[in-house]
């Protein structure tokens, strides 16, 4: 049985000549150059590039932060150019950032984001138009701080959507129109949108988005739809929207996952439930939290738990056993996505490298998390190998993991 090398994967010394290094130096340099060329040669690269490996299945997306959008994070931007064919902005199109004051929009970052996506031929997603978080208070209040009436809020919603969606008409191809309208038990969240406008705020939001760009795909996006009660509420909601003639093209399953939640069976059942409604599925915010939680599934509780060493166990590196477990978790998730490849249009990761992830600061601040396929230095993790390998070799055996999962990987050629 092959055994995992127990040495640190991340601190392993680079392979290369040691004894007799001088004798081989002359041919070593051209050899390295040749390897570099071979690596960047498209045919070789295709087998190792996420978007190419899954090109006949679904798009592969990433959520970009501001430093990646402005290409200040050159390493992150290079990974995005190489491995992803769809992009979503992590924050810069949320109401509080793009429309912070009643008469002020800030389109500097969104303009750069859209230019970046167009330059690299990517499917550009807008996130998000109507949400209860990261929306300024003034949206729901009059000058005296009292709640506005239904008409006023509908007018504000329409004005915002026409301005933002209209600016990128024909360029941003899909919009998360309404984000997180449901409670965990599947009932409607009592957000200011719901309380002031009523349940038809969703219908109106989709209608305004369609009015602004009739060619854009429009999505409802939420987390934890794998919980049976929330899934049932989601299915009812989509049915109602369709019955009202709302132009909804897809459902976004956020997929902020943990190592043991949701089960693969629940993920499968959730995709099937929405697939059966005739809408497309988008996996919109994929990550896997590898750290212990003291709380239930969800993305909606306050960051008020004190960080103890038990809650932050992998400060220096993720041990091999956990790397392997993460690789297996990702491979199993992708196996379900592949099973539903006809219904799934896109699988988007919420971040590029581990250091970018919101999960370093949620559900408690200041932990070291490892939720993505690239590490803090932009190096591919065994999980990336495992996902890519699915298409050629299937699911790897956890008892006898192939050694190449842990070998140094070809660099990206951004």
CA angle 318–296–281, rounded 5-degree value: 80
Rg (CA), the chain: 23
* Minimum CB distance to ligand GLA smaller for 220 or for 358: 358
Shortest spacing between CB 181 and ligand GLA, in angstroms: 12
Residues present in the chain in total: 414
Question: Burial letters for 83-112: b for 16+ Cβ neighbours within 10 Å, e otherwise?
Answer: bbbbbbbbbbbbbebbbeeeeeeebebbeb
| Contact flags string 246-265 toward ligand GLA, x per CB under 6 A | --------x-----------
Residue 358 as a binder of ligand GLA (CB under 6 A): the answer is yes
Beta bridge partners of 257: 288
| Contact flags string 85-124 toward ligand GLA, x per CB under 6 A | ----------------------------------------
397/72 Cα distance (integer angstroms): 39
* Minimum CB distance to ligand GLA smaller for 74 or for 361: 361
Q: Give me the DSSP letters along 177-237.
A: EEE--B-TTSSBP--HHHHHH-TTHHHHHHHHHHHH-TTSEEEEEES-TTSHHHHHHHHHH
Shortest spacing between CB 358 and ligand GLA, in angstroms: 4
141/280 Cα distance (integer angstroms): 36
Spot the catalytic one: 143, 159, 180, 267.
Answer: 180
Applying the rule CB under 6 A, the residues between 271 and 310 that interact with ligand GLA are 285, 299
* Minimum CB distance to ligand GLA smaller for 269 or for 299: 299
Shortest spacing between CB 125 and ligand GLA, in angstroms: 11
| Contact flags string 173-192 toward ligand GLA, x per CB under 6 A | ------x-------------
180 a catalytic residue: yes
* Minimum CB distance to ligand GLA smaller for 351 or for 401: 351
Q: Give me the DSSP letters along 370-390.
A: --SSB-TTSPBPHHHHHHHHH
> Are residues 235 and 274 in contact, defined by beta-carbon separation less than 8 angstroms?
yes
332 a catalytic residue: no
Shortest spacing between CB 176 and ligand GLA, in angstroms: 7
Residues marked active site are found at 180, 285
- Residues binding ligand GLA (CB under 6 A): 179, 223, 254, 285, 299, 358
């Amino acid at each position: 049985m092959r055994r995992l090398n127990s040495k640190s994967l991340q601190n392993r010394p680079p392979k290369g000549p040691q004894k007799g290094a001088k004798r081989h130096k002359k041919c070593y340099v051209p050899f390295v150059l040749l390897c570099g060329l071979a690596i960047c040669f498209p045919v070789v690269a295709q087998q190792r590039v996420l978007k190419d490996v899954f090109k006949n299945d679904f798009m592969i997306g990433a959520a970009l932060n501001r430093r990646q959008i402005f290409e200040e994070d050159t390493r992150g931007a290079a990974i995005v150019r190489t491995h992803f064919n769809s992009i979503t902005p992590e924050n810069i199109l949320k109401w509080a950032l793009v429309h912070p004051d009643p008469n002020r929009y800030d389109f500097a970052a969104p303009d750069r984001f859209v230019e970046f996506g167009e330059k690299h031929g990517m499917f550009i997603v807008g996130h998000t138009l109507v949400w209860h978080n990261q929306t300024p208070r003034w949206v729901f209040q009059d000058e005296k701080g009292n709640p506005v009436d239904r008409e006023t809020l509908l007018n504000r919603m329409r004005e915002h959507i026409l301005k933002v969606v209209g600016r990128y008409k024909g360029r941003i191809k899909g919009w998360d129109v309404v984000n997180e309208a449901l409670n965990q038990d599947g009932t409607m969240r009592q957000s200011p949108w719901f309380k002031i406008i009523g349940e038809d705020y969703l219908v109106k939001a989709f209608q305004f988005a369609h009015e602004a760009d009739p060619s854009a795909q429009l999505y409802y996006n939420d987390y934890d739809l794998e919980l049976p009660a929330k899934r049932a509420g989601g299915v009812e909601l989509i049915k109602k929207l369709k019955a009202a003639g709302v132009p909804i093209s897809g459902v976004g399953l956020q997929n902020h996952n943990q190592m043991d939640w949701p089960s693969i069976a629940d993920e499968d059942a959730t995709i099937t439930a929405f697939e059966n409604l005739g809408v497309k599925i988008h996996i919109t915010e994929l990550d896997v939290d590898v750290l212990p939680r003291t709380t239930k599934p969800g993305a909606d509780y306050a960051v008020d738990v004190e960080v103890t060493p038990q809650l932050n166990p992998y400060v220096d590196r993720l041990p091999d056993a956990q790397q392997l477990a993460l690789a297996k978790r990702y491979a199993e998730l992708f196996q379900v996505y592949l099973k539903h490849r006809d219904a799934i249009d896109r699988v988007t990761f919420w971040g590029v490298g581990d250091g970018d992830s919101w999960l370093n600061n949620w559900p408690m601040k200041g932990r070291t998390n490892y939720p993505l396929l690239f590490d803090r230095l932009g190096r591919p993790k065994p999980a990336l190998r495992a996902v890519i390998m699915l298409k050629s070799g299937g699911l790897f055996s956890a008892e006898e993991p192939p050694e190449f999962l842990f070998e140094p990987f070809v660099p990206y050629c951004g």
